[in-house]
Amino acid sequence: MARLVFYHHPQAENFSLKYSSASVAEIRSQREQSDESTKLIGYPFETPVYVLYEGDSEIESAQDIDFDQEWLSDRIRDLPRPGQVVAFRLVELLEAAVDVRDEDEFRLYKEFEPQKIQQALDHVSWGAPLPTVAGEVMSNLILRHSLPNANHRTGIAMLQFCIESVDSDFAMPRTHVDDDTWREWVDPYIVDSKRLITVRRNNLRFKQLEDLDVDLVERKDGIQIRLAEFELDMHWREALSKYAGQHESHCTDFGQAVLERAERDDLLDRQGPTKQEFITYLENGLVERDFREMF
């Protein structure tokens, strides 16, 4: 039987794996040195494995979201104009997602970090082929993880807007989460994306687990990561770069799949938008859009 360890604490998913050991004394020492709230699990394998989890003691409800215009303006005032525009749209998308989904499905796991939005925009190959630009927009927004939740859903929405900025008549394939056809072909992209970004941030922690003969790490939503399928033995900076590249390629493939499924092969070789063209569309092309229809 595979030896499985949880990445998020099963009873407190805002606590994530930080350290593992076969030694009770070592794991307790790590716990004493931590400045964060901690939880500990002992996995009763034939050779036990002890895992320390760190996190926040409280998770805010999505119903506590109150990104009013004044608050948001204060947070993004120092960003260049492109970052401000994308931040406004991302927050609108998040609020729309919260509005149409069950309250229990949304929790606020982290602070809103709008400065990371500008970082994401700076890493896009603007003007490259459309699937590349759209995929990189999606990938870099997900990698920077600026929102307190729904980064994948809003990232897919931004991919859609990127395509629309080139062809306003583009019709996105059905994206409602309760649509079985959408779920069948999109979910694997989202699941693999979550695997990649989890490994990217935790290669050394996962290498530690692999050395303890752990086979699988399971994150929330039941997504399992088979450690043998990933290269873990590298410096964490190398892992950040390596898996960011893989994630960009993965999202570019998704952008191509979206165009093919929408039967828009004519857009596959089309030049993607410049940054200014994308921002102009976000400002002027979405004024009367009801984002709730996207979720």
Position 145 scores a pLDDT of 81
> Measuring CA to CA, which residue among 290, 280, 288, 294 is closest to residue 86?
280
Is the confidence at residue 22, as pLDDT, over 90? yes
Position 99 scores a pLDDT of 77
Mean pLDDT of the chain: 88
- Residue 107, token pair as written in the block: 């929790």
3-class DSSP assignment, residue 11 = coil
Phi, psi of 42 (to 5 degrees): -105, 120
Position 13 scores a pLDDT of 83
Is the confidence at residue 19, as pLDDT, over 80? yes
Is this structure's pTM higher than 0.85? yes
Sign of CA dihedral 6, 204, 15, 94: negative
Position 64 scores a pLDDT of 57
- Residue 157, token pair as written in the block: 């929405």
Contacts of 4 (CB under 8 A, 6+ apart): 214, 215, 216, 217, 218, 224
Out of 75-79, 236-240, 248-252, pick the least confident.
75-79
Is the confidence at residue 108, as pLDDT, over 60? no
Q: Which amino acid is at 32?
A: E
> Of 288 and 3, which is predicted with more confidence?
3
- Rounded CA separation 116/123 (Å): 11
For the chain, what is the radius of gyration of the CA atoms?
20
**What is the mean predicted confidence (pLDDT) over 243-264?**
95
- Rounded CA separation 54/265 (Å): 47
Position 290 scores a pLDDT of 85
Q: Which amino acid is at 18?
A: K
